[in-house]
Structure 1
Amino acid sequence: MNHDIPRRSPARGGVRGRRLLALLSSAAMLGGCASFTPDGGFSAVERTTKERIGKELQWARGDADLDTISRRVAELLAKPLTAGDAVQIALLNNRGLQAGIQELGITEAEVVQAGRLPNPGFSVGRSRSGDEREIERGLHVNLARLVAMPMIGRMEARRFEQAQARVAMSVLSLAADTRKAYFTALAAEETVRYMRQVKQAADASAELARRMEQVGNFNKLQRAREQSFYASAALQLARAEQAQRATRERLVRLLGLWGAQIQFALPERLPDLPPSPLELPDVEQVALAQRLDVQAAKLAAEQTASSLGLTKTTRFVNVLELGLMRNSSNEGPTQRGWEIGFELPLFDWGGARVARAEAIYMQTLHRAAETAINARSEVREAYTGYRSAYDIARHHRDEIVPLNQRIAEENVLRYNGMFIGVFELLADARTQITSVNASIEALRDFWIAQADLDMALIGKPSLAAAAGPVMAAEAAGAGH
């Protein structure tokens, strides 16, 4: 039995053609929406830097930017370097930071690329059978990518925000490291000056002991004791000078200086202790509200959740393509139409991919919780360290140093009245000098703790114990 095959009306074919054209036009528009931002996302990092630490940031994209930075650095180095100026130089001149800022451009390029549709495919074929010739032409568009475009756009936008957060975090970490290195280098220079005074006192004592032994007023044991203290003082001075060079070089590296720039001047002494310490009863809440690593962990969890939703949506449609078909031959009428191809989920239903996404999501949630727990602990540790360092530095300033100064004044009076000898006076002078040196180290530790606290409130701090020689205790012990 023959059946007539119904013919498609031209009007209906035209409607479908227009629908297909509209779909392709929408795809083209979506692909064209992904574009570069005017500043590559740098303004967000720049704004964060200004709000958190009050310093300017510049992206060195070319020679003109490098020249501007060089002039600004030279201006700041023309005077004794303050802690704030050191941080500003590091943010402008540190090449490692500038390399990190380039991550914005790299990530933005990847985001823009991910937000654009792949180019459509065109195929053409020619076949011949006897005298019959057939030409096939095809146009293919990835329809699955078109369906997923809104989700992909949101995911890539979050990824770019994460890149901005990482760069901002590196900026703030560099600022904290520079501040700590600055106070460490400044304290090392002060320590060298006081250890030179200790060595001078030990040198005078050893020379006097040598002369007194020559005239018979000193025995060998007494002279050996004074000579031992001189040798110890010389050793401690050598260690202090090495610490001075090492801490200064670390600061130089963070500032990105070289050549004649490394001859910058530092102030004569550390800044004074503030009148009172900071009172932060709600320090944990403040840290959780404004720490960048906590915010980044939340953003990562949101992005993973979005990825999980995308996986569930496309689990049954792995490859979905839309194609236009046009066949023509020299023997028959031109054939027009379209075709859709997709995989049948007979063997792989996507369950493994969904399980993996869910596991990654739970992993991200646990890491976000860990970040919050660590943030609470770190800020508590930083704050208690800050308060302890303040109390210790204040005790040195208000109790130990004034007390040793009064003892020294009394001993001078006793020496003038010939109640004590010169060696007792020199030993007392050594004790006073080493107490001042210990006060310098306590003040240095306070300013380092202040930098740690500032960093703990906005990001993950480096809470390593403050490094410093125990020269005061050794020198004081050698004097007895």
Structure 2
Amino acid sequence: MRTTQQHPVLRAVVTGALALTLGGCATFSSDGGLDAVSSMTTERIGQDIRLPRGTSTHAEAQAELDALLKQTLTADHAVRVALLNNRGLRASLAELGVAEADLVQAGRMANPSFSFGRMGGSGETEIERSVMFDLVGLVTIPLRRDIEGRRFDGAKLVAATEAVRTASDTRKAWFNAVAAAQSARYAEQVREAAQASAELAARMARVGNLSALDQAREQVFSAEATAQLARARHNATAARERLARLMGVWGAQTAFRLPDRLPDLPDTPREPGNIEALAMQQRLDVQLAKLRTQATARALGLSQATGFVNVLEAGYVNASKTGQPRENGYEVELALPLFDWGGARVAKAEALYMQSVHRTADTAISARSQVREAYSAYRTSYDVAKHYRDEIVPLRKKISEETLLRYNGMLMSVFELLADARAQINGVNAAIEAQRDYWLADTDLQAAINGTGGGGAVGVASGMAGGASTDAAAPAH
């Protein structure tokens, strides 16, 4: 529809709307959303997130990293190194920039279109010019900005989830590395004792004081101890490399030092209390699922708002002919809903919303179950580790002391003493594993309360609306 009459009122309205839109354009934030991510991370793991920007901040981060790696690494130090240096985490944080760019783009009006036409004949020339503006895009800017704002919030939750998961994985890798190194050192002591026993057995066999059967038993134990040491050393190397990967270190940085043994058990275990309610408040995947549902609901509103008419453009037009004054007017372009009344798009948005609602409920149910299971593992591992510490290890020590007394009193042979020492091997290894399992279960419990319960990846924030996006208002030419 077009008119070539003067229409100053329309020009004033279009000019005012354009000025208002341009004046309210979204801009990029100074921190790129990182401050919110750092705050969420600090609440859950007690450490913040920093992304080096520029030479000065990079130098500060590098100085902190070097200082940490010069010390004997604690679990907290290892987590700090990972948060500073893990490149995979930095890649996840880059998603914040993508989501913020979409938010800024949603707050900007689509560029106007300009058309120019020239017709000539019979000594006359006619020139027509027009500038068209997308009015549907203009009036739906608040809705689109709201949807993309929720997606940006979702990207922050995803980034915080990745940071918490990285911290949890690093902490578990640290406990595994310390325990594996502790087991390897013990395996080396066992191998040395087994070699001494085999050598003694060979000497006694040569002078006829030991049977071939007993000598073979000592030799096979020495051979098995050597194989077990090789496996223990590889396990220690593999666990250390896993920790190095999570911390993002390489080259000379891989020479970091670990403590000789695992931390002691706490005096008392944590009581369950209200861990389910706490998980509902703290878990990032639950918060993200709720945000996805809200974003899908807003996308449904946008689809309903543009379901009947989603192409409406208006603009200024002028035309001039040879020998005649210029004519000015306006043009309105409206898509007629003859074939597509928008019902399919609205139905799709409604189905996506119900899908998001059910997924949110499923996430909450799974989270409650995971935190209960994690506490059961935590309490069981604490009780088992405490049982080894207070019962089994003291009894093993008492047996060893009594055996040594009998050996000193010539009531048993050296091989009976060595046989008792071999019997202690499994007990010592089991005690180390029980202590390690407790700390792993403690880390898993914290992840079940604060993070995602050790589940799969949350997914990128770009899919937060479950497929219903701001593109619901895109023209359907």
> TM-score under structure 1 normalisation?
0.91
In terms of mean alpha carbon deviation, does 292-301 or 112-121 score higher?
112-121
Q: 19-28 or 191-200, which moves further after superposition?
A: 19-28
What residue in structure 2 maps to residue 22 of structure 1? 16
Counting only pairs closer than 5 Å after superposition, residues 152-191 of structure 1 correspond to structure 2 as 152-191=144-183
Shift of 1:18: 2.6
Partners of 1:16 and 1:452 in 2: CA distance? 64
1:400 to 365, 385, 392: 392
Deviation at 1:62, TM superposition (A): 3.6
Match of 1:355 in 2: 347
1:223 CA drift (Å): 1.1
Work out whether residues 396 and 439 of structure 1, in 8 Å CA contact, stay in contact via their aligned partners in 2: yes
1:70 aligns with 2:70: no
Cα distance in 2 for partners of 1:281, 1:255 equals 33
Q: Is the 2:378–2:438 contact (alpha carbons within 8 Å) kept by the matching residues of 1?
A: yes
The amino acid across from 1:292 in the alignment is L
Amino acid at match of 1:283: I
Residue type at the aligned position of 2:358: H
Question: 1:334 Cα shift?
Answer: 2.2
Partner of 2:247: 255
Q: Which has the higher contact order (CA 8 A, sep 6+)?
A: 2
Structure 1 residue 122: Cα displacement: 1.8
- Look up the equivalent residue of 1:228 and give its one-letter code: V
CA contact (8 A) 1:288 1:372 kept: yes
Superposed displacement of residue 318, structure 1: 2.1
Question: Would you say the 8 A contact 1:133–1:331 is kept in 2?
Answer: no
8 A contact 1:298–1:368 mirrored in 2: yes
| TM superposition shift of 1:461 | 2.7
The residue that corresponds to 1:438 in the other structure is: 430
- Single out whichever of 256-265 and 323-332 deviates more from structure 2: 323-332
Residue 332 of structure 1 corresponds to which residue in structure 2?
324
Q: Which amino acid aligns with 1:37?
A: S
> What residue is the counterpart of 1:452 in the other structure?
444
User: Which of 210, 223, 239 is the matching residue for 2:215?
Assistant: 223
CA contact (8 A) 1:90 1:256 kept: yes
* Cα distance in 1, alignment partners of residues 454 and 209 from structure 2: 56
CA contact (8 A) 2:99 2:148 kept: no
Would you say the 8 A contact 1:286–1:457 is kept in 2? yes
Q: How far off is 1:214 after superposition?
A: 1.1
CA contact (8 A) 2:367 2:453 kept: no
Structure 1 residue 51: deviation in Å? 1.6
Distance 1:209 1:19 in 2: 104
- Cα deviations across residues 113-132 of structure 1 (Å, max 9, x unaligned)? 22211211222222112122
- Deviation string 1:113-153 (CA, Å, 9 cap, x unpaired) is 22211211222222112122111111111111001111001
Q: TM-score, normalised by structure 2?
A: 0.92
2:407 is aligned to 415
| Partners of 1:452 and 1:463 within 8 A in 2 | no
CA change 1:439–1:288 in 2 (3 A) is same
Deviation at 1:179, TM superposition (A): 0.2
Distance 1:38 1:265 in 2: 38
For the Cα contact (< 8 Å) 2:279–2:371, is it kept in 1? yes
Query: Is it true that 1:101 corresponds to 2:90 in the alignment?
Result: no
Q: Which amino acid aligns with 1:99?
A: A
Per the alignment, residue 378 of structure 1 pairs with 370
CA RMSD of aligned residues (A): 1.7
- Give the whole-Å Cα distance in 2 for the aligned partners of 1:423 and 1:299: 68
Deviation at residue 455 of structure 1 after TM alignment: 0.7
Q: Deviations over 1:82-138 (max 9, x none)?
A: 000000000001111112111111221222122211211222222112122111111
Deviations 1:226-252 (A, max 9, x none): 111111111111110000000000101
Partner of 2:468: none
Q: Distance in 2 between matches of 1:63 and 1:96?
A: 21
CA–CA distance in 2 between the matches of 1:222 and 1:433?
20
Aligned partner (choices 259, 276, 283) of residue 291 of structure 1: 283
Q: What letter is aligned with 1:394? A: K
Pairwise CA distance, 1:168: 0.5
The Cα shift of 1:463 comes to 7.7
Q: Is the 8 A contact 2:107 2:142 kept in 1?
A: no
SS at match of 2:450: coil
Paired residue for 1:471?
none
Post-superposition shift, 1:187?
0.3
1:42 maps to: 34
- CA-to-aligned-CA distance 1:339-370 (integer Å, 9 cap, x gap): 21111111111111111111111111121111
Aligned: 1:112 with 2:104: yes
Deviations 1:64-92 (A, max 9, x none): 43322221111011111100000000000
C-alpha deviation, 1:456, in angstroms: 0.7
Q: Distance in 2 between matches of 1:463 and 1:145?
A: 39
CA contact (8 A) 2:282 2:449 kept: yes
Aligned to 2:358: 366
Query: How many aligned residue pairs are there?
Result: 453
Q: Which runs of 5+ in 2 are unaligned?
A: 457-477
Q: 1:24–1:80: structure 2 CA closer, same or farther, 3 Å change rule? A: closer
The aligned counterpart of 1:200 is 192
Cα gap change, 1:463/1:203 in structure 2, threshold over 3 Å: closer, same or farther? farther
Tell me how far 1:16 sits from its aligned partner.
4.0
Q: Post-superposition shift, 1:19? A: 2.9
* 1:401–1:312 CA distance, 2 compared to 1 (3 A): same
Unpaired segments of 5 or more residues in structure 1?
Answer: 1-6, 465-480
Percent identity over the alignment is 52
The one-letter amino acid of 1:171's match is: A
Q: Decide whether the 8 Å contact of 1:173 with 1:461 is kept in 2.
A: no
Report how far residue 337 of structure 1 moved: 1.3
State the 1:394 CA deviation. 0.2
Greater Cα offset, 286-295 or 53-62? 53-62
CA distance in structure 1 between the partners assigned to 2:35 and 2:113 by the alignment: 38
Q: In the TM superposition, what is the alpha-carbon distance from 1:433 to its structure 2 partner?
A: 4.0
Equivalents in 2 of 1:463, 1:382: separation in Å? 12
